Structure formats: structure tokens, C-alpha cells
Amino acid sequence: MTKRLLLASAVLSLLVIGTVSPILATTDFNAYLPISGAPITPEFKFTKNVAIDYSNGGKLKDLLNGKNETYTFSGTASNNPSIKSLMESLNTLLATQRKTTATFSDLKVDYQVQVNGDSQGATIDYKITLTPTLTGYMLYKSNGDTPTVFDISWMGFNMTGPAVVSTGNLGDLDINSPIGIIKNKLPDVYNILKGTAAEGPLNISLLDASPLVGYPIEKWNTLFDPAYTLSDAAGLGYNGTKVAVTSFAYGQSDIYQGSLKASNIDVDFTSGSDKYHLTIVERASSGTLDADGHANGLEVQGDPAISTTVSASSNTGTATAQGLSTMTIYAMAGFAGIIAVGIFLWSNKKMKDAVKRGVDNSPAPTFQYEERKHWADKFDEEKK
């Protein structure tokens, strides 16, 4: 990524996030689409937050109070047969669920769970990152007169069944279920949860990116930078020429996308005579797509896609996030800079004027002071 792309992403963030509070995501997606259609490595981060309240005491408090553990695992399809099997299952979902010809040719899995307990309750925080190598996402390659079209329906897969991975130190782990790590590393806790009202919610899918295709791509916030220069242009065959970039962003509360609030699953459950409460935080998903060229979101046979040209045509506007043009955004930034410089110069002049009054013959302001006396002076006055 170049400085221009970073600037574009920063401006887009200010436009769509600056007026609202940021929202953590159940799915945090990021991808870059080169106009050449070369293999890409999109990133899917799946998070979930589970809280167990045992403030009334009980066996769960005895097991989790003071517990502070982090469980991690990393592997790829090239060195772990179980991850390769997971990748093949995801490719089946892409073909059946999403009706796409795009496929994962490699897959990296990073798994992390943090367990923290105190005297009132415990939290279990999940973060699973899938980084596949994706090919076959180009629907149509430009012939000069027509735009290039990318299929992006692949980003919305949803794995509903088990995703069992051989992790070594964590055992054969179902990374698609919150209860998977509890079974493997906290078996006594699992025995208490098993068969209660809490077990069902803890079997929900973690690897669910379907919200990304639940909101039309043509309504995502967009920002077009007509002067983007590829830092690795030679590697992509551009030979150092300038190529535009368009950024797409989804997952911020605004007047266009509405209020994307977190929703909680709250369950009271009992085990024996002990009473507990389970909370699972379901947050809004978010996604960011950077596409080479002047790009637009559209639907192809009901599925999301992106069409793009190397640069904006003469009869095409450069509308960006919330309808502002790129030049308008840059002008706004420049105007803000001019104001800042003006304030600095004015402040500097005022400071110099104040210093000057102390060294020249300019009349200084006069003040009247009340004479202050030492407390002992009153004895001298009494002697007079």
C-alpha cells in the first residue's frame, strides 16, 4: 500500500466513522483486488465475546475465579491435512452457497481464545483469523472498451457444521463452535454447562461471514482516489504507471447504513442448585475492499460484484463517500490546513507584539495595586 492509499483510507474513515462510535465486529473483513486478477489473500477475522456471571457463587466460580489463560494455534493447509480438509469444505460452500467459481488454493488459520475469571464472573474472548489465497474471482477481463468485473460473492460464506482442526497442544478442536475449546481445555466447566440452557447458544457458528453480502455492495461507503500509484507496480505489470483505486467500506453506523448496534444473547441457567447467567455479545460485521481503478458496486445475477476501469472516464464523476467528490475532500483538507496556518501566524504575531511592548517605549497599561503590609507592621503603627 502506498501513502496515497493510506490517505484515502484515512479520509474514508473520517467520513464514515468520525461522527459515530466505532463498532467492534463479529466479522472483520479486508481485501485488495488488483485489476490484473492475480491471486489475493483476503483476511477474515471472526470474534465472539462470552461472559458467565456467577456472582451468586457456585461450582463455576470455584473453577473460573482467578483463571487467566490464553489458548493459541496457527497452521496452514500446506502443512496441516485437517486445515486442508477445512479449506476443501469452504470451497464446497463457495460453490453451493455462493454460486461462485472463486476458490481457495491455500488457507492459514490463526486461533486465539482468552479466558479471564474473577470473583463475580468470567469472560471468554474468541478470535479466529482465516487468511486464504483466492483465485478465480474475475468474472470478465477488460478488452479496453468494457470494464473489468470482479465477483465478490465469495466473501459471504457461512459454515454451519463442525470445523475440526488438529491443533496439537489443543487437541482435535472444533474452531467453529465457542464450546469447542471449553470441551477440550475446560472439561469440568463443560460438564456443568452440558445439558443446561447455556449449551445451545455456545454451539452457534463462529465462521459466519454472511452479513457481508446481506447489505448491497452498491450501498457501501466508497472513496475514489484518481491518483493512486502502485508501490509494487512492476510486479503487477503496470511498469510504474498511475492507477486509480476505489475503497469500499461497510459496518459503520450512519444515516445511510442505519444504526448497527450490538445485540446480546442473554440466558439464565442452573446447574444443580447453582444459578448463573450467560451473555454472548453479537456485534455488527464490517468490511473493507480496495479495488484498482474507478470501481462501482453492482449485482450480477443477484450476487454482489465490482466493475472497474483503470482510470475514470471523461464522462464519469468521481463521487466518493456520502456523495462528495475526491477533489472536494482534498480541498476541504487543504482549507483546514490554511486555517491552521492562519491561526498559527496570528498567534505568533500576538506573542511578538506582547514581547515588543516590554522592550520599546510603547505605553504600558497602568494598574493600581493595594499596598500589602506584613503582619508585624501593625505593631509599629501602634507605637506611633
Q: What confidence tier does 334 reach under pLDDT thresholds 50, 70, 90?
A: low
Share of the chain above pLDDT 70, in %: 67
| pLDDT per position as a tens digit, 46-96 | 999 999 999 999 999 999 999 999 999 999 999 999 999 999 999 999 999
Residue 118 has pLDDT above 70, yes or no: yes
CA Rg value for the chain: 30
pLDDT band for position 375 (cuts 50, 70, 90): very low
Q: Among 42-46, 255-259, 379-383, name the most confident range.
A: 42-46
Mean pLDDT of 201-212: 94
The reported pLDDT for the residue numbered 251 is 83
In this predicted structure, the answer to whether residue 36 has a pLDDT above a threshold of 80 is yes
- 141 DSSP 8-state letter: -
Selected residue with higher pLDDT from 143 and 169: 169
Task: Give residue-wise pLDDT tens across range 280-328.
Answer: 988 888 999 999 999 999 999 899 999 999 865 444 444 444 444 444 4
How deeply is 202 buried, as exposed, middle or buried, from its count of CB atoms within 10 A (0-12, 13-18, 19+)?
buried
Helix (H) or strand (E) holding 222: strand 221-225
Indicate the average pLDDT of the chain.
Answer: 80
From the list 317, 252, 254, the residue with the least C-alpha distance to 284 is: 252
Mean pLDDT of 372-377: 50
At residue 4 the predicted structure's pLDDT band, cuts being 50, 70 and 90, is: very low
pLDDT, position 227: 61
Sign of the Cα pseudo-torsion (18, 222, 3, 150, in order): positive
Q: How confident is the model at residue 357 (pLDDT cuts 50, 70, 90)?
A: low
Distance between CA atoms of residues 225 and 291, nearest Å: 11
b vs e for 361-377, b when ≥16 Cβ sit within 10 Å of the residue's Cβ? eeeeeeeeeeeeeeeee
Q: Is the pLDDT of residue 210 over 90?
A: yes
Per residue in 122-133, pLDDT tens? 999 999 999 999
How far is it, in rounded angstroms, from Cα 173 to Cα 187? Answer: 13
Q: Residue 163: which of 206, 201, 104, 103 has the closest Cα?
A: 206
Whole-angstrom distance, CA of residue 30 vs CA of residue 131: 10
Q: Residue 7 pLDDT more than 50? A: no
Domain boundaries, the chain: 3-324
For residue 241, is pLDDT > 60?
A: no
| pLDDT for the residue numbered 260 | 55
Pull the grid cell for residue 244.
486509480
Between CA 283 and CA 263 the distance in angstroms is 6
- Residue 312: CB atoms within 10 A of its CB come to 16
pTM of the model: 0.74
Helix boundaries (H) for 25-99: 59-64, 81-96
Task: Quote the pLDDT of residue 17.
Answer: 38
- Convert the pLDDT of each residue in 136-168 to its tens digit: 999 999 887 899 999 999 999 999 999 999 999
> Which pLDDT does position 200 carry in this prediction?
95
pLDDT in tens, 250-265: 986 554 555 556 678 9
From the number of C-beta atoms within 10 Å of its C-beta (0-12, 13-18, 19+), residue 313 rates as exposed
Closest CA to 312 of 222, 247, 226, 228: 226
